[in-house]
């Protein structure tokens, strides 16, 4: 079985593995459950100053990453990985991209690996995105200094879904977004704390009532905090697709 592999192209290779070298992801990396290959984009620059960016045509502030340098980096990485890399997602992080969600994370897991392009400055030349069929992905409606933090977040979300990384499959099934809902509240010992008690149903021993309470709480929280998710959930229920 081929190991799930992340190929990361960045101007700051020292940012990896970063937090991915710790905890569950780090242990899984050490155990060979996934692989991380990091490439310095600047190593593909051809001038003595190792230039990777230039001023935008049409004017405007900031700099834009050059398509020739970035294409050479992508082509070099994919050629080194063989035919399998060409069939896997090539992702560039951008605020205008498709929002990363649990379904998309699952798609990346199933693909067996990804190539992640971490941009900087004002972005990358549009021709590069078109010529290499790059998929744009966004963490949300905000702007980061570069794609590295987004790459770390995506990889953390992916790695924990790989076989053997998280202790029990049941813990993944009950998480937020697994059923299109946010997760229900969690409680542990002590049973009474600062005048606040654990809901009685959770210590009743009645598993059916516990399941019903958790479902109701998940629906309540989703409806209150994420009306967009709630609307999508209700639409699926009406269609019988649950």
Give ∠ CA 70-162-85 in degrees, rounded to 5.
Answer: 30
What is the band of 169 on the pLDDT scale with cuts at 50, 70, 90? low
The domain defined by 174-239 folds into 1.10.1270
Is residue 78 scored above 90 in pLDDT? yes
Instruction: Kindly report which listed range (5-19, 24-38, 61-75, 79-93) carries the lowest average pLDDT score.
Output: 79-93
Distances (CA, A) of 54 to 45, 67, 144, 160: 12, 10, 20, 38
Is residue 242 scored above 60 in pLDDT? no
Instruction: Kindly report which listed range (1-5, 54-58, 70-74) carries the lowest average pLDDT score.
Output: 1-5
Separation of alpha carbons 147 and 90, rounded Å: 13
Residues with Cβ within 8 Å of 149's Cβ and at least 6 positions away in sequence, in order, are none
Is residue 179 scored above 90 in pLDDT? no
What is the band of 83 on the pLDDT scale with cuts at 50, 70, 90? confident
Between 38 and 173, where is the model more confident? 38
What is the model's pTM? 0.88
Q: What is the mean pLDDT of the chain?
A: 93
**Is residue 150 exposed (0-12), middle (13-18) or buried (19+ Cβ within 10 Å)?**
buried
Is residue 173 scored above 80 in pLDDT? no
pLDDT of residue 168: 64
What is the band of 174 on the pLDDT scale with cuts at 50, 70, 90? low
Separation of alpha carbons 124 and 155, rounded Å: 22
Q: Class assignment of domain 4-159?
A: alpha beta
Indicate the SS3 state at residue 52: coil
Q: Mean pLDDT over residues 26-34, rounded?
A: 98
What is the domain partition of the chain in residue ranges? Answer: 4-159, 174-239
């Amino acid at each position: 079985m081929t190991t799930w592999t992340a190929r990361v192209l960045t101007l700051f290779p020292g940012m990896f593995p970063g937090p991915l070298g710790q905890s569950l992801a780090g242990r899984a990396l050490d155990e060979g459950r996934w692989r991380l290959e990091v490439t310095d984009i600047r190593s593909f620059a051809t001038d003595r100053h190792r230039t990777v960016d230039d001023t935008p045509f049409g004017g405007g502030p900031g700099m834009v990453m050059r398509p020739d340098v970035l294409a050479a980096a992508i082509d070099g990485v994919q050629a080194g990985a063989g035919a399998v890399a060409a069939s896997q997602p090539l992702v560039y992080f951008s605020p205008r991209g498709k929002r990363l969600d649990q379904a998309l994370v699952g798609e990346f897991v199933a693909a067996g690996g990804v190539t992640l392009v971490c941009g900087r400055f004002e972005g990358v030349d549009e021709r590069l995105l078109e010529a290499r069929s790059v998929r744009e992905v966004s963490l949300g409606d905000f702007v980061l200094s570069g794609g590295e933090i987004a790459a770390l977040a995506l990889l953390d979300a992916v790695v924990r879904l790989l076989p053997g990384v998280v202790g029990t499959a049941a813990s993944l099934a009950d998480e937020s977004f697994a059923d299109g809902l946010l997760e229900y509240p969690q409680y542990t010992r002590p049973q009474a704390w600062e005048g606040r008690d654990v809901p009685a149903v959770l210590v009743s021993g009645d598993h059916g009532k516990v399941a019903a309470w958790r479902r109701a709480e998940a629906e309540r929280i989703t409806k209150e905090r994420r009306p967009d998710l709630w609307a999508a959930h209700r639409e699926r229920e009406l269609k019988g697709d649950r």
